[in-house]
Amino acid sequence: SEAGSVGESVNYKITGIDPGAGIMEATERAITDYELDKWDLVSGSGAAMTAALKKAYDAEKPIIITGWTPHWKFAKYDLKYLEDPKGSYGGEEEIHTIGRTGLQEDLPEAHQILSNFSWSEEDMGEIMIAIQEGEKPEVAAQNWVDANADKIAVWTDGVEKVNGDAIKLAYVAWDSEIASTNVMKIVLEDMGYKVTTVQVEAGPMWTAVADGSADASLAGWLPLTHATYAEKFDGKFEDLGASMTGVKIGLVVPSYMDITSIEDLQE
């Protein structure tokens, strides 16, 4: 086009998030798979990425981000995933709850609730959007809990309350996991637990569950996003199952950009 290539328009820069995120590894793989030799993946954080997205979007400028669903950005902006014919980002992903070895013996009620935990993209979306609009995470989560007693009753069905047992949940400051972790904190507190949440990077999160310094995390993205972590710690954690299916990672751009595929970045 008269403006030159997409690469030139964004200085061959993909706006990434925290270096330990699985989507960063997948993006390095995409750069190799699609021979995007001139391109750089710039790391930062989820918050810095959404700030850069807002700035570009408001000015209708081009930007390429590492994006994932569920995320409030798709409600707020008109965005699209770039097609990924080589499959660098896998297919349908799932969000898994992971627990430390011995959790079932030590905290059987929590183990049961965490194993039962499952909700929809819409559920999580309500909380993410409320937080994005300025609500405190714990308040947004409490409002959702108050309005969804029926769903929580399914997670806690037949589970006895406990009397102040301590449990520690590790999470990463991704918008999706801020929402889920804040909800589970309230659910477990209502069941009598003393809940600590600890915010860490992705590598330390998996390490903490594997070495038992955290009891569980709601932030395991599988089969592909966190495959490197899951393989590294194979046998050292328990997969408590999917809390959400049909989630996704990839490269995301504003819909006004005139490209459709990662292959278009080769030009």
Q: Which residues bind ligand PBE (CB under 6 A)?
A: 17, 21-23, 68, 174, 176-177, 202, 221, 225-226, 249
Exposure pattern of 158-190 as b/e (b: 16+ CB <10 Å)?
eeeebeebebbbbbbbbbbbbbbbbbbbbbbee
Nearer to ligand PBE, 34 or 68 (CB): 68
Nearer to ligand PBE, 76 or 159 (CB): 76
The span from the CA of 4 to the CA of 7, in Å, is: 8
Cβ 219 to ligand PBE shortest distance, Å: 6
Nearer to ligand PBE, 113 or 128 (CB): 128
CB of 121 within 8 A of CB of 226?
no
Cβ 170 to ligand PBE shortest distance, Å: 13
Strands (E) located in the chain: 13-15, 40-42, 65-69, 79-81, 93-100, 166-171, 194-199, 216-222, 237-254
Cβ 3 to ligand PBE shortest distance, Å: 30
Cβ 227 to ligand PBE shortest distance, Å: 10
Nearer to ligand PBE, 5 or 45 (CB): 45
